[in-house]
């Protein structure tokens, strides 16, 4: 079997007396969509925060491409090639799509204008944004300069995913990408996920929506009581099995 | 599902118009969209209409006074530039006027009490203004106090320090003119200097004040433009800030922080550093306004009215200029036009012989109207 691209062993995080992560294990393999499901309070968001650098674990190791890494901030994880699409999308509604795509990593014009006047290379940023959006089939967005607030929920999600796909060279984490969307828009986001996977970037998908999880995931990581209960193949189990594992109504057979 | 299958379904779906934008928005919708993209347009239209209206009523003697209006609004205009930066980050600065007065006092006292060169005095004024901005910025970004509270307190503290430090002494215009004319440099008129220089090079010397009419129409016109270096500094400052806000990463970060600080942080913007830079820069700009005050009034007075009314005047200009008090929206040109609108109304109504209260009444209506327009524009997002 291939080596996992991102893995964690013995991950532990305590908040006072509450143990959010209890020696948790985690593996993500190249090119797969791994869904992470779990009941509220099971600790899956703490796990994701630890992997994206927003939370520093008390104990345990994170390995990226076989090397030990420690993320002190989301920016740190981002520099290692791990991009996260937050549930809130982290976009500035009044700014344009291109501005948002490059927020925090703007391109400057080459030569003296960039060096002395710190002038942004808006042309290059627009072109890049347009290319990335059309790569993901989002060219229904006509104008790259329109403010993000004029986009629909699905389009915003699309822009956020495109931003992650454009810069996330190794891993993309999607936090509840379909939670706020209608049926049709959810479809597009699921297509988007498969598009990104077909380009070889592995995805961690956190979702409460079982049909969506079973549709796109290659493997499902079930989180319970701060640790990984089991990993199942969606082809071998039903959705009610997964829910039963999540809630503790059913125990997985010892592997 | 095979990958070829998936490819084709995705391609099909790409053809669907998931969210085509309605092209026929109607005239009102199109106006709303235009204003959304160019927020400085409303104040520019109001300004143009006001100038045309007063010219129609008062005749050519009104547009002749436009340079005077520029001189009258230069202090408020510069303060409004500082205020714009703070308000763009969803803050508010009630201390801009106090910082300007205190900076002008520092410039004067360092030069006269300690006998240092005027350059050092000006540097000291700029340093004090920036330092006050840095304290406010630190309290807002690190201690997480609301900007309203921080700057309300800072207003009192700075104004009190100003009186204590200056011992409530005024430095007279005459003394500055004789010993440190550089402090009044921003009040000097480059157009008059240019005309005098041209005439001197032609061998014409005028005794005492030069008359407004000479034998050359070009020189007459130049003489009549009647601008000061302070006005030029105001315009240059607004132009530089407009460039920085629009075309540099720092400017985009200022807007992003004002729009949604959490989103900006997650997207990789250093929110604290951006806020610090904005408050320090605003403090320095207020100090420049303090220097302009010396040029405009001639003297250095710790009890200049700017310390009390400057705050409200600058906020008025910013609001009339269409910058959203909720942050992240608006353009600094709008604030500049806002300051000019106030100046045009003040002088225009005075020339028309109206009671001064009409000015305040109209400005009050403009403030409420501007915020109503802002709310309407923001509905685009809903």
Is B256 at the interface with chain A, CB within 8 A? Answer: yes
Interface test with A, best of B34, B239, B250, B256 (most A CBs within 10 A): B256
Cβ neighbours of residue A116 closer than 8 Å, sequence gap 6 or more? none
Residue with the bigger pLDDT between B203 and A193: it is A193
Model confidence at B15: pLDDT above 50: no
Residue B248 pLDDT: 94
Classified as helix, coil or strand, A192 is helix
pLDDT digits (tens, 9 = 90+) for A195-214: 888 888 899 999 888 999 99
Chain B residues touching residue A89 (CB < 8 angstroms): 263
Total-model pTM: 0.87
Q: Which residues lie across from A222 on neighbouring strands?
A: A37, A230
Q: Check B269 against A198: CB less than 8 A apart.
A: no
Is B356 at the interface with chain A, CB within 8 A? Answer: no
Nearest to A188 among B13, B260, B269 (CB): B13
Classified as helix, coil or strand, A60 is strand
User: What is the 3-state composition of chain B as percent helix, strand, coil, each rounded to the nearest 5?
Assistant: 75, 0, 25
Residue B5 pLDDT: 57
Q: How many CB pairs under 8 A join A and B?
A: 110
Share of chain A above pLDDT 70, in %: 97
pLDDT digits (tens, 9 = 90+) for B307-336: 889 999 999 999 999 999 999 989 999 999
Residue B1 pLDDT: 42
Residue B16 pLDDT: 45
Q: Check B263 against A139: CB less than 8 A apart.
A: no
Q: Check A120 against B247: CB less than 8 A apart.
A: yes
Fold of the CATH domain A6-92+158-247:
Rossmann fold (3.40.50)
Q: Check A120 against B249: CB less than 8 A apart.
A: yes
Is B262 at the interface with chain A, CB within 8 A? Answer: yes
Nearest to B248 among A119, A184, A198 (CB): A119
Q: Note the residue count of chain B.
A: 382
Residue B299 pLDDT: 92
Q: Name the minimum distance, in Å, from the CA of B381 to any CA of chain A.
A: 5
Q: Are A63 and A7 in contact (CB under 8 A)?
A: yes
| Selection from A221, A95, A102, A75 nearest residue B327 by Cα | A95
Two structure tokens written together for A197 = 């996977």
Measure the CA–CA gap between B55 and A21, rounded to whole angstroms.
Answer: 74
Q: With bands split at pLDDT 50, 70 and 90, how would you rate the model's confidence at B22?
A: very low
Residue B316 pLDDT: 95
Q: Check A191 against B9: CB less than 8 A apart.
A: yes
Residue of A nearest to B17 (CA): A140
Mean pLDDT within B39-63? 92
DSSP string, B296-317: HHSSB-TT-THHHHHHHHHHHH
pLDDT digits (tens, 9 = 90+) for A2-60: 788 999 999 999 988 888 888 988 999 998 999 999 888 888 888 888 898 888 899 99
Backbone dihedral region for residue B226 (phi beyond 0: left; psi -120 to 50: alpha; all else: beta) = left
Measure the CA–CA gap between B79 and B73, rounded to whole angstroms.
Answer: 10
Measure the CA–CA gap between B28 and B46, rounded to whole angstroms.
Answer: 18
Which residue's structure tokens are 């220097």? B291
Measure the CA–CA gap between B146 and B94, rounded to whole angstroms.
Answer: 12
Q: Name the minimum distance, in Å, from the CA of B252 to any CA of chain A.
A: 7
Alpha carbon B56 to its chain's center: 28
Measure the CA–CA gap between A231 and A240, rounded to whole angstroms.
Answer: 15
Q: Which residues lie across from A120 on neighbouring strands?
A: A108
Q: Check B264 against A103: CB less than 8 A apart.
A: yes
Element (H, E) at A208: none
Q: Check A94 against B269: CB less than 8 A apart.
A: no
Delimiting residues of CATH 3.40.50.300 domain(s) in chain A = 6-92+158-247
Cα torsion B112, B117, B122, B125: sign: negative
Q: Are B287 and B103 in contact (CB under 8 A)?
A: yes
Residue A184 pLDDT: 81
Q: What is the mean pLDDT of chain B?
A: 88
Residue of A nearest to B330 (CA): A94
Nearest to A94 among B7, B243, B329 (CB): B329
Measure the CA–CA gap between A221 and A229, rounded to whole angstroms.
Answer: 8
Share of chain B above pLDDT 70, in %: 90
Q: Note the residue count of chain A.
A: 255
Model confidence at B161: pLDDT above 80: yes
Is B259 at the interface with chain A, CB within 8 A? Answer: yes
Give the single-character DSSP code of A5.
S
Cα torsion B50, B53, B58, B61: sign: positive
Give the single-character DSSP code of A203.
E
Q: Name the minimum distance, in Å, from the CA of B230 to any CA of chain A.
A: 24
Two structure tokens written together for B349 = 């109504």
Domains annotated for chain B, with CATH where assigned, are 39-189+226-375 (1.10.3470)
Residue B284 pLDDT: 98
Two structure tokens written together for B212 = 């407004």
Is B17 at the interface with chain A, CB within 8 A? Answer: yes
Measure the CA–CA gap between B287 and B267, rounded to whole angstroms.
Answer: 34
Model confidence at B130: pLDDT above 90: yes
For residue B337, report the phi and psi dihedrals to the nearest 5 degrees. Answer: -65, -35
Q: Name the minimum distance, in Å, from the CA of A98 to any CA of chain B.
A: 11
Q: With bands split at pLDDT 50, 70 and 90, how would you rate the model's confidence at B20?
A: very low
Q: Name the minimum distance, in Å, from the CA of A136 to any CA of chain B.
A: 9
Cα→Cα distances B363→A161, B117, B129, B313, B333, Å:
46, 42, 29, 10, 19
Strands (E), chain A: 6-15, 18-28, 33-38, 59-64, 67-69, 82-85, 171-175, 203-206, 219-224, 227-232
Q: Check A150 against B381: CB less than 8 A apart.
A: yes
Nearest to A75 among B17, B268, B329 (CB): B268
């Amino acid at each position: 079997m291939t080596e996992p691209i991102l893995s964690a062993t013995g991950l532990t995080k305590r908040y006072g007396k509450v143990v959010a992560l209890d020696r948790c294990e985690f593996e993500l393999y190249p090119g797969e969509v791994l869904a992470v499901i779990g009941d509220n309070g099971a600790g899956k968001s703490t796990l994701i925060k630890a992997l994206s650098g927003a939370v520093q674990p008390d104990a345990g190791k994170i390995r990226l491409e076989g090397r030990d890494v420690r993320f002190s901030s989301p920016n740190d994880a981002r520099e290692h090639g791990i991009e996260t699409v937050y549930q809130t999308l982290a976009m500035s509604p009044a700014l344009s799509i291109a501005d948002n795509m490059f927020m925090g990593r703007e391109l400057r014009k080459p030569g003296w204008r960039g060096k002395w006047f710190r002038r942004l290379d808006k042309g290059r940023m627009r072109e890049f944004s347009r290319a990335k959006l059309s790569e993901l089939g989002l060219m229904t967005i006509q104008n790259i300069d329109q403010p993000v607030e004029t986009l629909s929920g699905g389009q915003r999600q699309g822009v956020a995913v495109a931003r992650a796909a454009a810069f996330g060279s190794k891993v993309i984490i999607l936090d509840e990408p379909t939670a706020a969307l209608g049926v049709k828009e959810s479809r597009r986001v699921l297509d988007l996920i498969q598009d990104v996977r077909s380009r070889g970037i592995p995805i961690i998908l956190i979702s409460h929506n079982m049909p969506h999880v079973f549709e796109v995931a290659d493997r499902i990581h079930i989180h319970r009581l701060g640790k990984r209960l089991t990993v199942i193949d969606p082809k071998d189990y039903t959705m009610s099995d997964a829910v039963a594992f999540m809630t503790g109504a059913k125990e997985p057979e010892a592997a | 599902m095979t990958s070829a299958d998936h490819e084709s379904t995705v391609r099909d779906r790409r053809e669907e118009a998931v969210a085509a934008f309605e092209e026929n928005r109607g005239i009102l919708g199109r106006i709303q969209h235009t204003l959304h993209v160019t927020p400085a347009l409303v104040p520019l239209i109001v300004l143009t209409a006001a100038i045309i209206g007063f010219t129609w009523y008062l005749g050519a003697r009104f547009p002749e006074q436009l340079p005077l209006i520029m001189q009258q609004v230069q202090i408020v205009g510069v303060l409004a530039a500082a205020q714009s930066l703070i308000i763009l980050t969803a803050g508010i600065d009630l201390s801009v006027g106090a910082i300007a007065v205190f900076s002008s006092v520092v410039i004067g006292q360092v030069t006269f009490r300690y006998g240092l060169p005027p350059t050092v005095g000006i540097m000291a004024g700029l340093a004090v203004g920036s330092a006050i901005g840095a304290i406010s910025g630190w309290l807002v970004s690190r201690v997480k106090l609301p900007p309203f509270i921080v700057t309300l307190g800072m207003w009192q503290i700075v104004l009190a320090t100003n009186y204590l430090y200056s011992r409530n002494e005024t430095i007279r215009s005459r003394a500055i003119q004789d010993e440190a004319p550089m402090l009044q440099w921003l009040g000097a008129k480059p157009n008059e200097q240019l005309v005098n220089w041209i005439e001197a090079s032609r061998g014409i010397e005028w005794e005492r004040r030069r008359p407004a009419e000479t034998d050359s129409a070009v020189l007459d016109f130049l003489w009549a433009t009647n601008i000061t270096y302070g006005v030029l500094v105001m315009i240059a400052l607004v132009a530089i800030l407009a460039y920085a806000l629009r075309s540099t990463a720092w400017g985009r970060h200022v807007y992003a922080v004002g729009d949604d600080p959490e989103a900006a942080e997650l997207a990789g913007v250093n929110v604290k550093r951006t806020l610090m830079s904005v408050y320090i820069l605003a403090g320095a700009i207020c100090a420049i306004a303090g220097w302009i005050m010396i040029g405009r009034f001639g003297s250095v007075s710790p009890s200049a009215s700017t310390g009390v009314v400057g705050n409200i005047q600058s906020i008025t200009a910013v609001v009339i200029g269409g910058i959203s008090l909720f942050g992240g929206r608006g353009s600094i040109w709008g604030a500049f036009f806002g300051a000019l609108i106030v100046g045009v109304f003040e002088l225009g109504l005075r020339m028309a012989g109206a009671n001064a209260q009409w000015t305040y009444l109209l400005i009050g209506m403009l403030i409420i109207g501007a915020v109503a327009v802002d709310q309407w524009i923001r509905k685009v997002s809903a």
